[in-house]
Amino acid sequence: MKRKINGYLIAGLIITGIILIAIIVGMFWTPYSPTAMKYGRFQPPSSSHIFGTDNFGRDIFSRVLKGAGTTFSIALSTVVVGALAGTLIGAVTGYFGGLADDILMRLNDAVTAFPSFLLALLVVSLIGPGKKYSVVISLGLVFIPSFARVMRTQYASLRNQNYVTGARLMGVGNARLLFVHLLPNTLRVFLPAFTIGFNNAVLAEASMSFLGIGVTPPDASLGYMLSEAQGMLAAGPWYALFTGLTIVFLVFGVGLIGEGIQMQNREVD
Amino acid sequence: MLEIRDLHVRFHNRDREAVGGISLTIGNGEIVGLVGESGSGKTVTAMSIAGLLPRKQCSYSGDILLNGQDLLHAQRSELRKLHGREIGVVFQEPMSAMDPLMKVGEQVSEVLRIHTDLNASERRKKALKALTEVELQDPEAVYDSYPHELSGGMLQRAMIAAAIVIEPSLLLLDEPTTALDVTIQAQILELLKKLNREYEVSMLFISHNLKVVRKLCTRVAVMQRGLLVETGETDQVFYHPQHPYTRHLIEAIPTRERRTS
């Protein structure tokens, strides 16, 4: 059966694809060295420096390429950490219910009750700020509860399906049942949740770096660059503009993918 | 083959016993029909056999023996080995009985993956044979289809294939024809009869459709309010019903020639 793929999904994939290609290129090659300070301060965008230069005379386009890579990898690892742990918790609590369900979900509620950003700050300061992995761990931890809740609902609704009963009757083991039979059936909810989580992670990383507890120099992430750019809005507004736009496009593209998947699901229903 | 002795099941949140002490034997190669209205306990009986009773939420006593092995009180881990190997199940609603995201053929051969040492190509071969056995037109194509690509009748055939692929000794059929239209219903019944002959598999056929039961079953057991009110050869029960409830049920069959005598 052929299904029409909707415009949101295509647009999202194209935008995200372009950014991904830029990121991959940026890993191996940038037009100028992203850290070299010799291109003249506050050069406005021109044909040689298409995003202009900053206060130290660094090429902003090169920095954005590198920074997008950092932001992307941090956001992706963060949401993977959250999704993995959340799925595990959600599967166990949703499918088996009982005491484990009660304990884990109350724990979940407790974590949710804290302002998530505050919790992330707390964790970062505990494991030591300034490293990439500390951002990933702290944000990942904050992301677990929402995934756990979403996946729990999915598993709880699936466990009474006839085919699950049938599989149990065949003697399918629990692990295989949960992750081979049921997991694919949760994807329609999992994938949109994953894209939303990714976007939240991009924004959360940006906010943390903006506050100076995320990535530290010489690494640059888009959030960190945005916080730098804030000090020179008057002298070089293009710095904030292009960095911000890159974040917007990244989030927009992935958001479109999530929206597209959801629409696709609705069409199937 | 299968022997149920004095089975009692009571759910903790109910006053009345769901099953109030029934005894029933299914011999080798027999097709026993279990009939009764909704809530009469026939599904709970089937659940007890299949090991699907929510054990923590009910109390139960009695014995269910399959070829001498205890089904009612056995450990879950032991049951897991036994079920699937010895008992195949076909549900009422074929659409929901299949995993929507797994190919039909893989679902048919899944039970082989768990209970046998066959490798992938042997499993595929056996699954294709089972799909042929249930008289599906193009087994190869069905093997590689997803459930939504098949009709209800085809799916139910595939479900039956999944139930017999490992050649179990007992098939539990929980209203397998109720969701199908009458023509398909008749075909499925013929198919079940054929499988019964060829594989000598015993069947417990749960239904509230007496017409279907009469066509298929060798013996009939009638349940009402958790009790077995009548058991006997199909003709015996249909032509000379002893219990008033049975008579009542038979009178309710919408046919031109009522066989109430």
pLDDT digit string (tens) for B56-66? 888 889 999 98
The Cα–Cα gap between B255 and B91 comes to: 27
> Region B37-41: what's the mean pLDDT?
84
Question: Is B80 in contact with A166 (Cβ distance < 8 A)?
Answer: no
Co-location of B163 and B182 in the same domain: no
The answer to whether A18 touches A26, Cβ cutoff 8 Å, is no
Q: What percent of chain A has pLDDT over 70?
A: 97
Beta carbons of B81 and A165 less than 8 Å apart: no
> In terms of CA atoms, which chain B residue is nearest residue A176?
B114
pLDDT for A1: 44
Select from B146, B167, B188 the last residue of a domain. B167
Quick one: average pLDDT of A80-100? Answer: 92
Judging contacts by C-beta atoms under 8 Å, the chain A residues touching residue B82 are 171
Burial of A80 (0-12, 13-18, 19+ CB in 10 A): middle
Q: Looking at the structure, do residues B2 and B80 belong to the same domain, yes or no?
A: yes
Residue B202 sits in a domain of what CATH number? 3.40.50.300
- In a domain, residue B228? The reply is yes
Chain B residues touching residue A181 (CB < 8 angstroms): 99, 102
Packed helices A183-210 and A60-96: angle between N→C axes, nearest 10 degrees: 140
Q: Which residues of B touch A167 (CB under 8 A)?
A: 99, 110
Q: Is the pLDDT of residue A189 over 80?
A: yes
Amino acid A32: pLDDT: 80
Overall average pLDDT of the A188-200 stretch: 91
Higher pLDDT, B79 or A249: A249
For all residues of chain A together, what is the average pLDDT?
86
Backbone angles phi, psi at B204, to 5 degrees: -110, 115
Task: Look at B1 and A85; give whichever has higher pLDDT.
Answer: A85
In which domain, by residue range, is B78 found? 1-86+170-234
Residue B259, in any domain of the structure: no
Q: Which of A2-16, A216-230, B179-193 has the highest mean pLDDT?
A: B179-193
The C-alpha R_g of chain B, in whole angstroms, comes to 18
Chain A partners within 8 Å of B93 (Cβ): 162
The stretch B116-139 carries a mean pLDDT of 91
Does any domain span residue B254?
no
**Whether the predicted pLDDT of B240 surpasses 90:** no
- B69 with B100, same domain: the answer is no
Q: Is A163 on the interface with B (CB under 8 A)?
A: yes
- Is the pLDDT at B219 greater than 80? The verdict is yes
Regarding whether B218 and B98 lie in a shared domain, the answer is: no
> Are residue B174 and residue B80 in the same domain, yes or no?
yes
B258 is a domain residue: no
Is residue B119's pLDDT more than 70? yes
Whether the per-residue pLDDT at B155 is higher than 60: the answer is: yes
- Are B5 and B133 members of one domain? no
Binary contact (B52, A169; C-beta < 8 A): yes
Contact B53, A165 (CB under 8 A): no
> CA of A71 to nearest chain B CA: how many angstroms apart?
34
Tell me: do B176 and B161 sit in the same domain: no
Give the span between the Cα atoms of B81 and B76, in whole angstroms: 9
A91-105, A149-163, A211-225, B214-228, range with the lowest pLDDT: A211-225
Partners of A161 on chain B (C-beta within 8 Å) are 96
Could you give the CA distance from residue A152 to residue A172 in angstroms, rounded to a whole number? Answer: 20
Q: Given an 8 Å threshold on Cβ–Cβ distance, is B97 in contact with A172?
A: no
Residue of B nearest to A185 (CA): B101
Mean pLDDT on B86-103: 87
Ordered domains of chain A (ranges, CATH): 7-268 (1.10.3720.10)
My answer on whether B9 and B81 are in the same domain is: yes
Q: What is the mean pLDDT of residues A30-38?
A: 78
B64 and B175 share a domain? yes
Distance, in Å, from the CA atom of B83 to the CA atom of B88, rounded to the nearest integer, reads 8
Is the same domain home to B123 and B98?
yes
pLDDT average, residue stretch B82-107: 87
Report which residue type is found at B211: K
The mean per-residue pLDDT over the stretch B106-126 comes to 91
CB contact under 8 A, B99 and A167: yes
Given B119, B139, B167, the domain boundary residue is B167
- Residue B260 within a domain: no
> pLDDT tier at A132 (50, 70, 90 boundaries)?
confident
Mean pLDDT of chain B: 87
Q: Is the pLDDT of residue B168 over 60?
A: yes
The confidence score (pLDDT) of residue B77 equals: 79
Place of tokens 């209970």: B115
Asked if the Cβ–Cβ distance from A171 to B97 is below 8 Å, we say: no
Of A228 and A258, more confident: A258
Q: Which of A99, A101, A170 to mutate to test the interface with B (most CBs of B within 10 A)?
A: A170
Q: What mean pLDDT is predicted for residues B217-237?
A: 89
In a domain, B150, yes or no: yes
Task: Please indicate, yes or no, if residue B250 is contained in any of the structural domains.
Answer: no
Residues B209 and B190 in one domain: yes
User: Whole-angstrom Cα distance, residue B140 to residue B147?
Assistant: 14
- The reported pLDDT for the residue numbered A3 is 61
- Average of per-residue pLDDT across B202-227: 89
Q: Are residues B125 and B55 in the same domain?
A: no
Instruction: State how many domains chain B has.
Output: 2
Q: Which of A138-142, A187-191, A224-228, B191-195 has the lowest mean pLDDT?
A: A224-228
Contacts of B101 in chain A (CB under 8 A): 184-185, 187
Domain boundary among B167, B186, B216: B167
Chain A nearest C-alpha distance from B64 (Å): 16
Instruction: Nearest chain A residue to B50 by CA: give it.
Output: A169
Residue B255 in domain: no
Amino acid letter, residue B186: A
Q: What value does the mean pLDDT take over residues B206-218?
A: 87
